[in-house]
Every structure is written in C-alpha cells, then in structure tokens.
Amino acid sequence: MGTPVDFPKYLQSLVESYKKQQHLYTLTDLQVEVRVEKPPEDSSQPRSPENKPETKIERLEVLAGIRKYLQQGKVLLVGKPGLGKSTVLQRFRWELALEALHEGDRQIPVLVQLRYDRSILEAICAEFRQAKLRVSREEVDDLLLDGRLLLLLDGVNEMPSQQRRQDLQLFRDDNPDTPMIFTTRDLALGGSLGIEKQLEMCALTQPQMREFVHKHLPQDGDLLLRQLRDRLREIAETPLLLEMMCKVFKNSGKIPQSKGELFQEFDRQYDEFKGAALVSDDFRRFKSEVLQQLAFVMLQGDSQRPTDGWVAISRDRAEGILEGWLGDRGVVDAPTKAKEWLEDLLEHHLLQVAAKQEEIEFHHQLFQEYYAGRALLKLLVERHIDAIDDERLQHFYLNYFKWTEPLAFMLSLLRDEAQAVRVVRLALKVDLRLGARLAGEVQRVFQKCTVGLVDELDVPGWLKVELLEEVRSDEAIGGLLKLVEHSHPFVRRRAADALGKIGDDRAIPGLLKLVEDRDSHVRRSAADALGKMGDEQAIPRLLKLVEHSDFDVRWIATDALGKMGDEQAFPRLLKLVEDPDSDVRRSATDASGKIVYEQAFPRLLKLVEDPDSDVRRSAADALGKIGDEQAIQGLLKLVEDSHSDVRSSAARALGNIGDDRAIPGLLKLVEDPDSDVRSSAARALGNIGDDRAIPGLLK
C-alpha cells in the first residue's frame, strides 16, 4: 500500500490560498438571490407558457441555497457572465475546507475547471497537485467510490468540445452518489445535464447595486449614481462590471454610456490601475490590437468544430498567432516581438497562465469576448466581406452562440446606425431572442429604432414580453406597458417581471396598476418588481397590500418592503410578525431585522416559540442583528430546538450579541450532531473570546 494522502495539507492549502483573494470584488457577491425552478407535476398535460404550472420562487442567499439543495441531489448554478459563479464556488470550497479541517469525517471539496481539455479525473489529480500532493487516477477513483469527494465543476458552457461534454455526462452518470455542483452561464450553451435542481443567480437589485457603489466609492458614490440614474442596471448589473465601473469613475471621473464603452475605458486605464511597469518597445501602442487578434482567433477555434472556441491555448500557439499577424503588418523581427509582447501581456495586462502551465487564457471570459467584439467591429468598419455580406455575417457569426457576447460588444461601440439596424434585422431572422438581445445592445441613440423592430413583431403576447425583457433597455418599457393591459393574466404577470428587471422609474405607474390587479399572481409579481427597484413611490401601495386577504400577496408585499428597508414601513411590518400565515411572519421578521429597530424586540422575542421553524430561525437572525442582551434567554431556548438551521441561527445570534452568559449553551452546540451547527457555535465562541470556551473548542 502507498503512503496515505495528506488531506489536511490539501485543505490547509485551500484555506491559505483563499486569503490571497480577500481584496477582490468577488466577496461582495454572496448575497445574490437564487431562483429555484420546480419541474411540472403532471408532464402528461400539454406545455404552453400560458398554462404551465406556477413555479415556486424561493429567495435565498446563494450559499445557503446551494447547501440546501445539494442535500437533495446534484445542483446546477446558472448565471450571467460576471455575476460571480466561480467566486461563489471558491467561497464555498473555502467554507467546506474549514469545516473538513475541524471534522475528519467531512467530504473533501475539489474545484474542477471544465474549460480545459482534460478528463475529470485528470483535473482532480491536477487540483491535488497544486497543493503538492501526488494522487493517482486510481486513488481518485477509490475516493469517488468511497464517497469522500464533493465536486465543484465550474463552466459547463466553457467546455472545449462536444466530446468533453459527453465525457462529463458519463462521469456524472457513473458517480450518482457523489455530490456535485455545476455552473453555467446559459442553459443553451451546454444544457442542464438532466439536473432538476437549477438555481439561477439573479442580477443585483437596485438597492444592492447602490450599496455596492457606496461601499467601493464612499466619497463619490452618490455622484456616480446621480449621473447614471436608471442606466446603472443596463451598463453594470453584475459585481464584475460594477467593480470596473467604480474603478474607471474613481480614476478618471468618466461615466461610460454602454457596456462596450466601460470595457474600452477599463482597457485604456488598466496601466494606471496596475501601476507603471517596464515593458517592451511599442507594447503600449499595440497591446489592444494584439489582444483583439488573439481573442478573435481563439474564439474562432478549430474550423472542424465551428461551434467551439478556445478558452485557453498553448503559449507556442499564441506566439504563432501573434508572429503571423505581426509579420503580415511588416513588423521587423516578428518572432521576437511576439514572444516579448506575449510575456508583457501575461505580466502586466489581461492575460494569465492557465491551469496547465504551458497554456494561457484571459483573466475572465468576458474580456476575451470584448476583444473579439473589437475585432468584429474592425471587420465591419473596414468592410470585410464576412461582415458586409448578409449571408456570410449570418453564417459565420450570427449563427453561433459563441459569438453572441462579442456581437453585443461590437454593436455597443458601432457608431453607424444603418449598420447597427442591419445587424439586428439579420439577427432577428436567425433567432428572435438573439435579435432582441442585440437590439438592446446598440448605442442608446439607435435603440428606438432597433427595439421598435422587436416591438413590431407579430408574435403572441407571452413571447412579446419575453423578447422585450431580453432587450433589457428602457426603450422596451413602452411596449411592456402596453402588455400590462393584456387580457391574459400570465402575460400581465410576465410584463411585471420584465419591468422589474429593467428597473426604470417609468415602469412604476404600470406596476402600481398591477399591484391591484384582479389576479393574485399578477399582484405578487408587481409587488416583487417594485421591491427590487426599491423606489419610495411604491411604499404606500405596498402598505395597502400587507392587509390583503390573500396571504401570498401579504407575503410578497412584506418581502418587497423588507428589500426597500424603509423606516416608514416599519410599524406595519411589526404588526405582521403576528400574522396567521407563517410565510408572512417570516418575511416580516426578516424585514424587521433589516431595519433593525429596537421597538421590534418584544414581538421578535415572542417568535422564538413560534410553531414554524422558519419563523423561529428568522427571529433568531433578527434578534442577532438588533444585538440586545435581553434576547439571550430566548435564544438559549433555541439551542435545544429540533431543527438544525434554527440551532445554527441561534448560535450566530448569540455570537453577534457577544455576552459570556451564552457560553454554556454554545458549548452544548459544539458537540451537536450537525456540522453547520458546530461550526456556527465555534465561531460564536470565538467572537465572545472567553477562556472558558477553550476546552470545548479544542474538541
């Protein structure tokens, strides 16, 4: 037998490596909501958008959602580029590593990057090698059979070939009992793998975006928000884009007017963000063009597999691409320049060494797609046959998913209205959703025309709503407001959802109408949309709805008011902590905790004895936020609760209050059968910082 694998060494390396990432934007992305889509109960009935069963929307903090649904089977995390899917996996891996270090019986988390052209077993071996552990494929296979691994598989949409996708499906089928979390940016780019538990990471709400901006720009956040007004969501609705926006604004005071302009400014100012560095002659003059050429060729990929691009390529191949391009431009000593400039890009710009040391990749796939979009723009401006001929443009670019983001970047920078409208028309002929998406990406002054093309389509009302939502521009509001009056409640409800996602103040009158719609599902969607927008104009109408006879309407209105966190809603919310419906009580409790009013204390304290465990958990969380020492006795009752999530919340709340009277109860939880409870209790004892906790913690 060989030497046993030193897994504590591996786990410790994960914990240490995560410390290096504390300064990155990614930690701000842990409060994103997840959407849980349930499959239809009766698959024998015909499915159409109007008659499909209601989907249950459950709003959860993203890591809590993953933990909850991972217990029920494999999980697929879906989210737009830049929302932080990879970040969530890294954070989750760190949490799992900490837990496994303290408890020897925990599964070992392994993060697998699917973008690289290698088998899953090889990728797992490579992850262990990063921690200087030699683990063979046979040993990995044994670990899988013994149920020792928990796999975090990142980037289903980035897999380099159809063969690798088939291998992944086979690996999943061969290991049915291994817990796995997959991420993808779009279900159309790799499928759902047959996974029922699909969690959708939602874009940041307006209040979350404002909070993010103020956190990163404490002095100038209000100035940026005033100048962007309702366009913040259109340009920068993800943590990655918001971070870029804040950096550009802080450095130059400039306000980019589109996503393409944001990337363009970020590219121009990147040297200033990184600090001046010694680079090769002429590098700074040509770096953007070099990146464009590299990104374009990488996205083209192998002509034998036109649907797939390259996310990573070997250094030798990259040098060859640049050498050929420089040679065509008549650059003297192109081979030397190619090597020098590639090294400069890796050291000082947006390229990095990939998982395989001999390969390189862009820092984020969006940067690769931006530079490929710039290359497409150049083809159009220079009237290249592939861009000017309608059929060739459709065949080579509009016809492939991989070019969607580059086309969007290209259109956001294109200053020729006739060409922009032409591309959108051609896209609508290829695919209606693609055309709608691109209609909202053209420069703002052209959007009236391109969005009009979508609004004029002769399609059913439900599809018109979906297409206008895909546009994601305030130019779509007029068309959506017409659909607010549609005769079918499903169309009205979807129109409310779409208006909430666009998040423009002009949608408020239409949403306020729907708040009093005769259909309860429509009212719920309208209230939810208003909550996401966070506009104070909606508060009086929402306050009416918290007294509605339909408990679902009361619940969603309460949830919306809680998202807004407005003080004037507090007295009414406080009454709802005694509502007969447990969902309403829970939402009211959560909202009271967010507003953090001491007047809530007596009523919240009563809820620690509520018959519903979710309400007891919310009460514990809210009491922890208020932080009053009088809550200790009530919270100590929850230490004995039959539900582990309630015990865990009680432990966190006691840790927040930080009173040593909680120590005996927390020491009981250090020996709890549930690992999450033990972990929460240990952290709480650490917060209190009393020597009496040491023996329990040493266990």
Greater confidence, 470 or 33? Answer: 470
Of the ranges 289-298, 575-584, 676-685, the best mean pLDDT one: 289-298
Q: What is the pLDDT of residue 294?
A: 94
Q: Copy the structure tokens of residue 96.
A: 């799992």
Contact criterion met (CB below 8 Å) for 656 and 627: yes
Torsion of CA 336, 342, 344, 347, to 10 degrees: -140
Whether the predicted pLDDT of 429 surpasses 90 = yes
pTM of this structure: 0.74
Whether the predicted pLDDT of 31 surpasses 70 = no
Q: What is the pLDDT of residue 297?
A: 94
Listed range (240-254, 537-551, 612-626) with the worst mean pLDDT: 537-551
Q: Which of 180, 143, 107 is nearest to 675 (CA)?
A: 107
**Angle of helix 62-70 versus helix 85-102 axis, rounded to 10:** 60
What band does 432 get if pLDDT is binned at 50, 70 and 90?
very high
What is the pLDDT averaged over residues 592-616?
A: 69
What is the pLDDT averaged over residues 85-98?
A: 85
Contact criterion met (CB below 8 Å) for 341 and 290: yes
Strand order in the sheet with 75-78: 34-37, 197-201, 75-78, 180-184, 149-154, 108-113
Q: Mean of the per-residue pLDDT values for the chain?
A: 81
Whether the predicted pLDDT of 375 surpasses 90 = yes
Greater confidence, 214 or 442? Answer: 442
Q: What is the pLDDT of residue 446?
A: 95
What band does 583 get if pLDDT is binned at 50, 70 and 90?
confident
What band does 36 get if pLDDT is binned at 50, 70 and 90?
very low
What band does 230 get if pLDDT is binned at 50, 70 and 90?
low
Torsion region of 212: left, alpha or beta (phi above 0 gives left; psi -120 to 50 gives alpha): alpha
Instruction: State the Cα–Cα distance between residues 262 and 269, nearest whole angstrom.
Output: 11
Query: What sign has the CA pseudo-torsion 662, 664, 668, 670?
Result: positive
Q: What is the pLDDT of residue 98?
A: 82
Q: Is 170 exposed, middle or buried (0-12, 13-18, 19+ CB in 10 A)?
A: exposed
Listed range (95-99, 563-567, 676-680) with the worst mean pLDDT: 563-567
Percent of the chain with pLDDT over 70: 83
Whether the predicted pLDDT of 35 surpasses 70 = no
Torsion region of 464: left, alpha or beta (phi above 0 gives left; psi -120 to 50 gives alpha): alpha
Q: Copy the structure tokens of residue 419.
A: 């060409």
What band does 50 get if pLDDT is binned at 50, 70 and 90?
low
C-alpha R_g of the chain: 27
Q: What is the pLDDT of residue 152?
A: 93
What residues does 110 pair with on adjacent strands? 151
Q: How many CA atoms lie within 13 A of 143 on its CB side?
A: 23
Whether the predicted pLDDT of 582 surpasses 80 = no
Three-state SS at 416: coil
Q: Copy the structure tokens of residue 502.
A: 């666009």
Q: Which of 515, 535, 534 is nearest to 525 (CA)?
A: 515
Q: Is 652 exposed, middle or buried (0-12, 13-18, 19+ CB in 10 A)?
A: buried
Q: What is the pLDDT of residue 39?
A: 45
What band does 567 get if pLDDT is binned at 50, 70 and 90?
low
